Every structure is written in C-alpha cells, then in structure tokens.
Amino acid sequence: FKPDLCLMGNLDFIGYHALEEFTKRRIPVIQCLGNEAPGWPKEFRPSLEYYRAGPASQWLCDKMQADGCCLHEPKVLYPGARTDLFYRDVLPDCTVPKISFAGLLMSYKGPQTLMEALHLLKEGGIEFRATFAGDTTDQGFVDALKKSAEAGGFSEWVEFPGFLDREGLAGLFADTNIFVMPSVFEEPFGISQVEAMASGVAVITSGRGGSKEIIRDGQDGLLFDGDDGGDLAQKIASLVADPERWKRLCRQGRERAFYFAIPNTVDKIEEVYLEMLRTAVS
C-alpha cells in the first residue's frame, strides 16, 4: 500500500504517531482540525514539507497559532455541509415564528438563553412554536427547561423530540422558519447553521468562535449578544414586525449555504494536495 496522500481527522482515536509515520515516508498529509487541540503534543513537530493543517474555521486557525501549535501554511477547510439533503425550493411561511434549536441539550450550547427569550416573546404577546431537538447527558437540565415552559404558560407551544438524525433534522427545518444557535462556548464551526440556511430558514446566532464566519449579520442571518435572552427575543420580534426582511434573510441565507457545501470543500482539499505533490516532485 503506497498512497499518494493521506487525509486525517481526529487523531485522538489513532494517536499522532500515524501522522509521524506518514510524513517520514514523504507521504503528504492534510489534517482536518475540528478541535482546539491538534491531537499531538506541543513538543512534536510534523515534517512541514509533507504536512498541512486544515482548521475548520479562521477563528480556530488563529486560536491554535496563538496557542503555539505548529500549523505550517494552514488552509482553512470548512466542514462540508450536505446542502443537497436540506435544500428546499419553497421558502417557509413567515408569519408565526416556528423556532428550532438543534444540538446537545446542555448549558454550554445555550438552550436556556432561547427559553428565556421565549418567555419574553410570550409576555410581549407574540405567539410562537419552538422545538428543542437534541440528546443530553443531563436529564435534569432538560427537565428544568420543560418546567420553565410550563411556568411560562406555553408548554403546549414547545416540543422536545430528542435526538434527530440528518433525515429528522431535514424534516424539522422544513417545518421551521427561524433557527437559533445560542452557543455559550466558542464553536470551532457550527454546521447546523449551514443546514438550516440551506433549508431556507432564517438563522439567528450568538456567533461564538468560528460560527460567526458562517453568516454576515443583517445580510444572510442575524447576530445576537450571547447569554442575552432579551436581545435574542428582540431579534426574533424584529423579524415578526418586518416579514419582508424575514423572507429576504431566508432567501439570502439559502444562497450563502452553498459556499459551505461539500463540493467546495473537496475542491479546496484537492488544491492543497496538488500543491504539496508538485512541491514533493520538485
């Protein structure tokens, strides 16, 4: 087995010695990085001639460089989204907000901020429907979210379907007109935003970490101040007050999603490999 090149992912599962072995044999390696830790100790330095790092966002690239990781000539490689699975020709009806959250139901993902916003929308007389999709390792946290909805008098407007696979998410987004990503921690990327945008859903995000690179505020999505349920509620209410703007964000977000589609990422990976192979031959 004599490969021309190697594409590596999370080295936590196989150890960094595999990377070391490939580069010793002068086999070009691109390592796609989706976490702040590269999977190898700082004292290890991959052979720069045969190694390129592919961070999942510019934010992640900058952070890893600042932390002292040896990322020689890194190339940002956004994780490719299956836009083909989520794309919808018909944009959603933009009247009553149908809000979705999709991710781990844990505090660092920020669903509690969305719940706070829902309380404020109810108090402001805005009717809505909301779905909190995702698994959890803290059932007590999920139970607290449900009790909060009951206390606010809108539990019948909120659903908790649990984990959804890609097909289930596509079905959820097809019945959604606003997707909220309220992450508290700094996301390396945030692919669920792209999937929602491909479905024609308006995205409102806290924009933490690399997730901020996906939308352009006011053009194909909206940013809100993370941890601030009041600001999130205001952003949702602003769409209700201006349906034409809401529809425009849905349409332009759908167009933006294709920038992060899998074929574009594949093209960039091939460009890097061809450059490395040319260098190796010369």
**pLDDT of 162 over the 60 cut:** yes
Task: Determine the pLDDT at residue 280.
Answer: 66
Span 4-34, pLDDT tens digits: 889 998 788 888 888 888 988 889 999 999 9
Span 64-107, pLDDT tens digits: 888 878 777 899 999 999 999 999 999 999 999 999 999 999 99
**pLDDT of 142 over the 70 cut:** yes
Q: What percent of the chain has pLDDT over 70?
A: 99
Closest-CA residue to 123 (of 236, 244, 245, 243): 236
Report the run of H or E that residue 270 belongs to, with start and end. helix 262-281
Q: What percent of the chain has pLDDT over 90?
A: 78
Question: Helix, strand, or coil here: 29?
Answer: strand
Residue 213: band (very low, low, confident or very high) from pLDDT cuts 50, 70, 90 = very high
Across 145-172, average pLDDT: 97
Cα dist from 43 to 16, 40, 54, 131, 238, whole Å: 12, 8, 20, 46, 51
Task: Determine the pLDDT at residue 282.
Answer: 55
pTM of the complete model: 0.92
**pLDDT of 155 over the 80 cut:** yes
Contact 68, 45 (CB under 8 A): no
Give 200 or 280, the one with higher predicted confidence.
200
Task: Determine the pLDDT at residue 48.
Answer: 78
Span 218-275, pLDDT tens digits: 999 999 998 999 999 999 999 999 999 999 999 999 999 999 999 999 999 999 999 8
CA distance 138 to 226: 22
Q: Per mean pLDDT, which range of 46-55, 173-182, 256-265 is the poorest?
A: 46-55
Residue 216: band (very low, low, confident or very high) from pLDDT cuts 50, 70, 90 = very high
List CB contacts of 182: < 8 A, sequence separation 6 or more. 101, 109, 110, 111, 113, 114, 205, 206, 224, 226, 232
**pLDDT of 189 over the 90 cut:** yes
**pLDDT of 108 over the 60 cut:** yes
Place of tokens 């034409």: 244
Give 18 or 143, the one with higher predicted confidence.
143
Task: Determine the pLDDT at residue 11.
Answer: 85
Work out whether strand 129-133 and strand 158-162 pair parallel, antiparallel, or are unpaired: parallel
Residue 281: band (very low, low, confident or very high) from pLDDT cuts 50, 70, 90 = low
Two tokens, residue 10: 């999370």
Task: Determine the pLDDT at residue 47.
Answer: 77
Two tokens, residue 149: 């909805």
